[in-house]
């Protein structure tokens, strides 16, 4: 049995109450969401088309508009929504997908979330926390073998993996330089998926160079939240979790990722919750979330509930992704390897922006296992076993370039600055160029001759587009492109 923890020693009440409304309630109004969903059942197709026009202007929709999109059942109108979603993706993010991989650092957890294999009372879980040397070995395998440049570091909630530990682990990951066949590879951006932290703790991880701070609300529905997260645990406190991004901004982290665990409650309600949260952050600091994640509950060994309590079909999944793309057009959308290759491929056509690949979710699994899943050593089972190379080639065959760019964050293009740039399309210039440079780097270091043949046309097409659009800038781009071919690494704008 693991350490029990008194939630009250962790949760800082005044760091919740300052973000609540005057009536002491948080910004998620269940009754209003339910009312808006009920009222949106019978919509006029003209209204839907007006909403699509607003999305195309890269404006955040309000929750009543989101509710209308969530109730569209007519196949032709759904098709129009999907086409508009992809248009928006191309307008804001061009034809790029960014890749990353999760690094599970510890499976110790003091909480008891009923759906999770890491829950404290699960006797079947073989637990482990990586040492700093083991974290470096994971980073070495991820960046040296697969070529990853972005890592999502994942932690259970436990005193042994507190903010100082998280900061040290970021240092450890950033310190690794792996030799490749033509140069070196290193992790250049570490995002963190961890429990909500206090403002002081968030400052610690901010100073350690965190990329995106990601916390999923799991469910925005208050009653379902209480059913899933026992009240005597830290995670049982809805308010501590739902205000964690407000604290992140107050601690100086302006790059945050939201998500829900689909399947716990009605999926339409959850999409409304995500959009409400994004709008609340826009109201609070003028900056919305950098990403939405849409994990869906999968069976976990030793979890208290074997199957998701709410039906959430693949078609619902695609509908949710489409509506999120339309409702908050500038926010990145992540669909993880929890889902099957078929569904992930479908979502690529709906405007998602980030995917993981070569994914292993066992603690220490990149350095130590052959990639086979071991149910008693991981949180749940994965649906997409594709390697990074396979994913990159599948995308290239559809004319999509994989970007390993991490420049925005390292050049200070984050938060409000990146939001404005995304909304106006300005960030696109840098992203387009950096995608080509980092893609070339990856092809030089990691791709097989067959993959090079598949991927080169998309890279050359992008280079040609840069030449045509930015003729004055092009010589500088070509110079860096050629230097990468000669073995220089990590060149970007
Ligand atoms: N412990 C931290 C927390 O809960 O906030 C972060 C790490 S937790 C390992 C990351 C996410 O995994 C959770 O936020 C939850 O959405 C997701 N998760 C938990 N159980 C899952 C399951 N059975 N299937 C799919 N995703 C799951
Ligand atoms: Fe712990 Fe997170 Fe799993 Fe809940 S979801 S049991 S907090 S690791």
**Every domain of the chain and the residues it spans:** 7-12+85-424, 427-485
Residue 128 predicted with pLDDT over 80: yes
Return the ligand number nearest the Cα of 295: 1
For a pocket test of ligand 1, which of 193, 256, 263, 293 has the largest count of ligand atoms closer than 8 A to its C-beta? 193
User: Residue 236 corresponds to which tokens in the numbers above?
Assistant: 């049982």
Return the residue whose CA atom lies nearest to atom 6 of ligand 1.
194
Ligand 2 site: residues with CB under 6 angstroms? 109, 111, 113, 116, 118-119, 156-157, 235
Per DSSP bridges, beta strands 178-179 and 184-185 are: antiparallel
Mean pLDDT computed over 364-389? 83
Other Cβ atoms closer than 10 A to 2:
18
116 Cα to the center of ligand 1, angstroms = 6
Report the DSSP beta bridge partners of residue 139: none
Contact between 443 and 485 (Cβ < 8 Å): no
Query: Per residue in 249-295, pLDDT tens?
Result: 999 999 999 999 999 999 999 999 999 999 999 999 999 999 999 99
Residue 419 has pLDDT above 80, yes or no: no
Distance (Å) from CA 369 to ligand 2 centroid: 23
Ligand 2 atom showing the smallest separation from residue 117 Cα: 3
Q: Which fold has domain 7-12+85-424?
A: TIM Barrel (3.20.20)
Q: State the closest ligand 2 atom to the C-alpha of 107, by its place in the atom list counted from 1.
A: 8
Instruction: Decide the pairing of beta strands 96-106 and 291-293.
Output: unpaired
Cβ–ligand 1 distance for 119 under 6 Å, the answer: no
Across the chain, what does the average pLDDT equal?
A: 94
- Whole-model pTM: value is 0.95
CB 63, CB 40: distance < 8 Å: no
Q: Nearest bound ligand to CA 166?
A: 1
What is the per-residue pLDDT for 423? Answer: 62
Cα 116 to middle of ligand 2, angstroms: 6
User: What is the token pair recorded at 383?
Assistant: 């649906």
Q: Residue 446: what pLDDT?
A: 97
Distances (CA, A) of 363 to 126, 137, 258, 261: 10, 12, 23, 21
Residues 467, 474: contact at Cβ < 8 Å? yes
The protein residue whose alpha carbon is closest to atom 4 in ligand 2 is 113
Q: Is the CB of 216 under 6 A from ligand 1?
A: yes
Distance CA 360, CA 411 (A): 30
Tell me the per-residue pLDDT of 306-328, one tens digit each, with 9 for 90 and over. Answer: 899 999 999 999 999 999 999 99
* CB distance 394 to 386 below 8 Å: yes
How far is residue 142's CA from residue 211's CA, in Å, rounded to a whole number? 17
Nearest C-alpha neighbor of 233 from the set 114, 112, 118, 115: 112
Cα 281 to the chain's mean position, in Å? 17
The closest ligand to the CA of 382 turns out to be: 1
**Confidence (pLDDT) at 1:** 47
338 CB less than 6 Å from ligand 1?
yes
pLDDT (tens digit, 9 = 90+) per residue, 330-344? 999 999 999 999 999
Q: 3-class secondary structure for the chain?
A: CCCCCCHHHHCCCHHHHCCCCCCCCCCCCHHHHHHHHHHCCCCCHHHHHHHHHHHHCCCCCCHHHHHHHHCCCCHHHHHHHHHHHHHHHHHHHCCEEEEEEEEEEECCCCCCCCCCCCCCCCCCCCCCECCHHHHHHHHHHHHHHHCCCEEEEEECCCHHHCHHHHHHHHHHHHHCCEECCCCEECCCEEEEECCCCCHHHHHHHHHCCEEEEECCCECCCHHHHHHHCCCCCHHHCHHHHHCHHHHHHHCCCCCEEEEECECCCCHHHHHHHHHHHHHHHHHHHCCCCCEEECCECCCCCCCCCCCCCCCCCHHHHHHHHHHHHHHCCCCEEECCCCCCHHHHHHHHCCCCCEEECCCCCECCHHHHCCCCCCHHHECCCCCCCCCHHHHHHHHHHCCCEEECCCHHHHCCCCHHHHHHHHHHCCHHHHHHHHHHHHHHHHHHHHCCHHHHHHHHHHHHHHHHHHHHHCCCCHHHHHHHHHHHHCCCCCCCC
Cα of 362 vs centre of ligand 2, distance in Å, is 14
Ligand 2 atom having least distance to the Cα of 120: 6
Q: Residue whose CA is closest, atom 7 of ligand 2?
A: 111
* pLDDT of 72 strictly over 90: yes
Res. 422 pLDDT band, cuts 50 70 90: low
Q: What is the pLDDT of residue 299?
A: 86
- Residue 418 — very low, low, confident or very high, per pLDDT cuts 50/70/90? low
* pLDDT at position 369 over 90: no
- Please identify which residue in the block is written with the tokens 């109108």: 77
Of 4, 7, 112, 119, which is best to mutate to test ligand 2, by the most ligand atoms within 8 angstroms of its C-beta?
119
Q: What is the pLDDT of residue 255?
A: 95
pLDDT of residue 415: 66
Q: Hey, whose CA ends up nearest to atom 8 of ligand 2?
A: 156
Atom 6 (ligand 2) nearest CA: 119
pLDDT at 424: 62
| Alpha-carbon torsion (275, 280, 283, 284), positive or negative | negative
* Structure confidence by residue, pLDDT tens digits, 37-62: 999 998 889 999 999 999 999 999 99
CA of 261 to the centre of ligand 1 (A): 8
Q: How far, in Å, from the CA of 403 to the mean position of ligand 1?
A: 26
Residues 181-192 have a mean pLDDT of: 96
Nearest to 152 by CA among 361, 378, 384, 332: 361
Token digits of residue 172: 């450890």
Q: In this structure, what are the phi and psi dihedrals at residue 278, rounded to the nearest 5 degrees?
A: -60, -45
Q: Is the pLDDT of residue 427 over 60?
A: no
- Residue 121 Cα to ligand 2 middle (Å): 11
What separation in Å is there between the alpha carbon of 239 and the centre of ligand 2? 17
Distance separating alpha carbons of residues 423 and 361, to the nearest angstrom: 34
Ligand 2 atom with least separation from CA of 229: 4
| CA-to-CA separations, 435 to 22, 139, 186, 326, 474, in angstroms, rounded | 46, 22, 16, 24, 14
Is any atom of ligand 1 closer than 6 Å to the C-beta of 276? no
Of 395, 378, 390, residue with least CA distance to 156: 378
- Once rounded to an integer, what is the mean pLDDT over residues 237-249? 98
Q: Give me the phi and psi of 131, to 5 degrees please.
A: -80, 170
110 lines ligand 1 (CB under 6 A): no
Nearest to 259 by CA among 278, 240, 286, 238: 278
Which of 295, 304, 308, 340 most suits a substitution to test ligand 1, by most atoms within 8 Å of the C-beta? 295
């Amino acid at each position: 049995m693991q350490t029990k923890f008194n939630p009250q020693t962790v949760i800082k009440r005044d760091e919740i109450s300052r973000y609540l409304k005057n009536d002491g309630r948080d910004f998620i109004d269940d009754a209003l969401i339910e009312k808006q969903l009920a009222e949106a059942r019978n919509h006029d197709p003209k209204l839907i088309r007006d909403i699509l026009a607003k999305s195309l202007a890269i404006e955040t929709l309000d929750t009543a508009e989101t509710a209308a999109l969530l109730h569209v059942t007519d196949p032709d109108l759904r098709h129009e929504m999907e086409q508009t979603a992809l248009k928006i993706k191309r307008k804001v993010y061009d034809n790029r997908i960014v890749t990353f991989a999760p690094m599970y650092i510890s499976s110790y957890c003091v909480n008891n979330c009923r759906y999770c294999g890491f829950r404290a009372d699960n006797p079947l879980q073989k637990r482990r926390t990586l040492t700093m040397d083991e974290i470096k070995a994971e980073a070495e395998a991820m960046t040296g073998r697969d070529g990853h440049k972005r890592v999502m570091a994942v932690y259970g909630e436990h005193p042994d993996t507190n903010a100082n530990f998280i900061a040290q682990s970021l240092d450890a990951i950033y310190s690794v330089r792996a030799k490749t066949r033509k140069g070196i590879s290193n992790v250049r951006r570490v995002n963190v998926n961890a429990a909500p932290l206090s403002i002081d703790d968030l400052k610690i991880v901010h100073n350690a160079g965190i990329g995106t701070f990601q916390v999923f609300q799991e469910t925005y529905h208050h009653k379902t939240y209480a059913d899933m997260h026992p009240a005597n645990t830290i995670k049982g406190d809805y308010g501590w979790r739902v205000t964690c991004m407000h604290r992140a901004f107050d601690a100086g982290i302006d790059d945050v990722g939201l998500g829900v665990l689909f399947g716990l409650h009605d999926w339409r309600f959850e999409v409304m919750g995500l959009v409400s949260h994004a709008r609340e952050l826009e109201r609070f600091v003028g900056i919305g979330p950098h990403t939405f994640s849409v994990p869906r509950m999968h069976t976990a060994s030793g979890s208290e509930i074997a199957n998701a309590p709410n039906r959430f079909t693949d078609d619902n999944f695609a509908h949710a992704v489409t509506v999120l793309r339309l409702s908050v057009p500038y926010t990145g959308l992540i669909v993880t390897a929890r889902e099957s290759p078929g569904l992930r491929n479908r979502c690529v056509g709906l405007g998602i922006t980030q995917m993981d690949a070569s994914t292993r979710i066992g603690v220490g699994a990149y350095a130590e296992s052959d990639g086979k899943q071991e149910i008693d050593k991981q949180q749940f089972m994965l649906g997409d076993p594709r390697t990074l190379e396979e994913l990159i080639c599948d995308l290239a065959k559809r004319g999509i370039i994989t970007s390993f760019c991490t420049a925005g964050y390292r050049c200070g293009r984050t938060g409000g600055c990146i939001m404005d740039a995304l909304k106006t399309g300005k960030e696109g210039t840098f992203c387009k160029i950096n995608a080509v440079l980092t893609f070339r780097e990856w092809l030089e270091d990691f791709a097989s001759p067959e993959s090079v043949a598949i991927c080169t046309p998309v890279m050359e097409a992008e280079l040609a587009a840069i030449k045509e659009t930015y003729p004055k800038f092009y010589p500088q781009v070509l110079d860096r492109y050629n230097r990468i071919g000669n073995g220089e690494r990590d060149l970007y704008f």
